Structure 1
């Protein structure tokens, strides 16, 4: 695994390499049944995801946290270039995480592995950026574990 996280300028950037083909990584980002397997913070016990994968289409991820509180993320797809690029808005429905932000993912494949360049921002405050960095890192660790488990089968 290669991982690099930067939160400068209230923009989160993460570089990761996954042991999976690019088409599969893209599916994990865009199909609700796959998104529900790895999205979410470390203190989440349940998630329901819906997605309308088209430019202008929306997604919704409703999470139940360990303390039984809910956390709903909504967004709109801005750019889709399957299987290399995806961009969408990101907003916490109750506004707890500040203003709407934009997530951009670029995927490149080399030797059956996929390098992901991930960007999320611009956040209102540096601590929001850092907090999302922690959450995304947990999610990407889950995603990596799914790929590693599949590779062992």
Structure 2
């Protein structure tokens, strides 16, 4: 399955979801959007959601614990809902690569039962002043991958990358 939206492309390969997106900014600036807590909070999560980093240690074995809250009344049943995640960083090569495990958690940081654990590898590739972000998300099984795809993860990533685009444009202005 391959989908494309706003220059975002995605496809699955077994139990791996690959998402690629090019940003009109330098690799260093795009990397900072993922590696600095204040910047990350400004764009992480889909449109209409606000993110708060409860813990952010951008280093090997560091923890990133965040919660997103839907603040858009137009999103109906989602309005007021909270969704939390926790990342554990395994490898950071500035400004080229970030590898981390991502878990669905509650606001206390406890893993949510029956939700998959994800191993995410992000590569930041400089292309003539622009940056392609290539994200490979590995799941324990194809079923776990399909569960998260069915929840709208590709659409969510597309939406949050639109927010990142706006932040990058603002910083470049």
With normalisation by structure 1, the TM-score equals: 0.88
Whether the aligned pair in 1 keeps the contact of 2:47 and 2:163 (CA below 8 Å) is: no
In structure 2, stretches of 5+ residues that fail to align are 1-5, 72-78, 107-111
How far off is 1:10 after superposition? 4.1
Preserved contact between residue 55 and residue 80 of structure 1 (Cα < 8 Å): yes
Matched, 1:141 2:162: yes
How far 1:97 sits from its partner (Å)?
A: 6.9
The 5-angstrom pairing of residues 46-65 of structure 1 reads 46-49=50-53, 50-65=55-70
Choose from 7, 10, 22 the match for 2:12.
7
Among 79, 82, 100, the residue aligned to 2:91: 79
Show CA shifts across 1:61-88 (max 9, x none).
1111242122111010011000000011
Quote the Cα distance in structure 1 between the aligned partners of 2:114 and 2:22. 28
Query: 2:60 touches 2:92 (CA, 8 Å); kept in 1?
Result: yes
Task: Give the number of the structure whose alpha-carbon radius of gyration is greater.
Answer: 2
Match of 1:128 in 2: 148
Aligned-CA RMSD value:
2.0
Q: How many residues align?
A: 151
TM-score by length of 2: 0.78
Task: Name which of 30, 42, 45 aligns with 2:47.
Answer: 42
